[in-house]
Amino acid sequence: MATLKDVAKASGLTVGTVSRVLNNRGYISDKTREKVYRVMKELDYQPNEMARSLSKQKNNIIGVILPQIEHPYFAKVLSRLEREAAKQGYRIMLFVSRNKEKREEQCIEMCKSGRVAGVVLCSGSFETEKFRGLDFPLITLERSMDEGTSSVECDNYQGGTMATQHLIDKECHKLMYIGGMSAGEDVHMPADFREVAFRDICAKTKTENVVIVTEKQMFDSMEYYEFVREKLIEHPDVDGVFASSDVIGAYVLQACYDLNIEVPGRLKIVGFDDVNIAQFTSPGLTTIHQPVEQMAEQAISAIVQIDAGKVVPTKTVFPVTLVERGTT
């Protein structure tokens, strides 16, 4: 069985450097980190076994895996998770996956070797097989995964229904949905139900509609403007837009201003999430409020309860509310 010294020798690094990589201590370059994990995989080295031999107890650390932190929603989630963890006497260890598979594998291995009390997973591109056999609770936040210990979500279908019906009640006759991913026939993420609800309500009310889906790189960079502007030009008769996030909704509002489309007179907009940007636009963005505070509290509470040997619900769904502002 490979040892820590074997990993150090094969990677051309010192034992201390390899140890810092495994325990996520001090500054380690991405190149060095990748080299260590590559050698660990080649030698079939299991750092978690070493951790068990050193101590039978876990740290008061909760791992948080986000796809990015630039997006206002994930920044809000991180802030609330950190606040709730501190209340319970835990610390946050943050990982940003950038939706890259190699980075995701590293996040999981570092959580294993770090003997975390649990992990809150918000990243959406993990393969579920990577989470089988974990010795810590995995709480998913707005993420569907069978291998998770417990999931925390908002009622995305309810939110999509509220947003769509609100536009119809405001006498919009042709609606546009702009989302980050297509639900298609398969629903992969809880947020996909926003589009499902949009389609269902439009079909039920016989409302003319068009569904527009952005590309993945737009989600990563949040550069939606040109795309949104182009779609508004392609569909000049659209008078109501349901944006699957407030960021997209803000870009719709900006494009309308540049195209001389009056909001809310000529076109109405509803976003989703209710992050700060929804209040800073002019006019303010009508949106669906996602109760991030309660969701974060539930996620942290689940880890704390499991750490104490208690049972937690496998799924918790929080209701959402419509916040009407100037765009409708």
pLDDT digits (tens, 9 = 90+) for 151-187: 999 999 999 999 999 999 999 999 999 987 544 445 4
Residue 47 inside a domain? The answer is yes
3 state DSSP class of 199: helix
Residue 328 in any domain: the answer is no
Domain range for residue 39? 4-152+293-317
Q: What pLDDT was estimated at residue 68?
A: 87
Answer whether residue 323 is part of any domain. Answer: no
17 and 139 part of one domain: yes
User: Is the sign of the CA dihedral 272, 274, 279, 281 positive or negative?
Assistant: negative
The residue to which tokens 């009390």 are assigned: 117
Number of domain units in the chain: 2
Distances (CA, A) of 270 to 18, 47, 114, 280: 50, 48, 42, 15
- Do 130 and 161 fall within a single domain? no
**For residue 244, which of 217, 266, 214 has the smallest C-alpha distance?**
214
Cα–Cα distance between 86 and 84 in angstroms, integer? 5
CATH code assigned at 240? 3.40.50.2300
Q: Are residues 266 and 308 in the same domain?
A: no
What pLDDT is attached to residue 113?
79
Q: Is 0.85 surpassed by the pTM of this model? A: no
Closest C-alpha to 300, from 57, 72, 78, 109: 78
Low-confidence ranges of the chain (pLDDT < 70): 1, 23-27, 46-58, 124-130, 146-147, 181-187, 215-221
Does residue 90 sit in the same domain as residue 209? no
